[in-house]
Amino acid sequence: EHSSQMRTASRYLRPAFVAIVLSLILCQVEGADYTLRYDVSKETLQSVTASADHSAQQSQLLNGYKGQKAEQCKSQLKQQDWDADIRNAVEGTKRKIEYIDRLIAIEAAGCPAKSKNCVKLAIDNNTGDLEALEEKSKNSINALKATVLQKQKAFMDKCVSG
């Protein structure tokens, strides 16, 4: 009877153990650096990060202001941190990409050794989520960039006329 109780306990503990191990793998320790393993994840992060750059639009905006007063205002503008929300959005997206990358790794870990098709399937199973995340993040970042440029224009208009 004792051994049958042990088998029953073992049967229930195994899934719990697996769940604990998976949750530990998926949990991101704050401040820990995670290296993306899959190209699809790296490309998504690179694309989102590149979309956050608005230096060309900012230069175009600032080039519209001429004169000594405008130069002083540009100097004041550049001393302020306008991009905190954009950086936070990119960082949040990065954490989500890392999570999906971990999911791919967990699925791929269940593949037979040297089964490239199985690993490809694990990647393909999560590519749609990465693509949706990329599109949503870029839309959000583009809205944040537009807001920053509007605020910078308002700052410059007020500063130059003041």
Q: At what angle do helices 116-161 and 84-109 cross, to 10 degrees?
A: 180
Does the pLDDT value for residue 4 go beyond 90?
A: no
Tell me the pLDDT band of 142, cut-offs 50, 70 and 90: very high
- Find out whether 140 and 85 touch, Cβ atoms under 8 Å: no
Token look-up 């089964």 returns 115
Candidate from 39-53, 78-92, 110-124, 131-145 with smallest mean pLDDT = 110-124
Does the pLDDT value for residue 11 go beyond 70?
A: no
Q: Is the dihedral of CA 112, 116, 118, 119 positive or negative?
A: positive
Q: What is the mean pLDDT of residues 70-94?
A: 96
pTM for the full model? 0.76
CA 102 from centroid of its chain's CA atoms: 13
Q: What is the pLDDT of residue 25?
A: 53
Task: Please give the Cα distance from 20 to 160 (Å, whole number).
Answer: 59
Q: Is 106 exposed, middle or buried (0-12, 13-18, 19+ CB in 10 A)?
A: middle
Residue-wise burial string across 16-37, b where 16 or more C-beta atoms lie within 10 A, e elsewhere: eeeeeeeeeeeeeeeeeeeebe
Phi/psi at 44 (5° precision): -65, -45
Per-residue pLDDT tens over the stretch 18-76? 454 455 555 544 446 889 999 999 999 999 999 999 999 999 999 999 999 999 999 99
Task: Please give the Cα distance from 58 to 54 (Å, whole number).
Answer: 6
Q: What is the pLDDT of residue 28?
A: 46
- Find out whether 102 and 13 touch, Cβ atoms under 8 Å: no
The more confidently predicted of residues 114 and 76 is 76
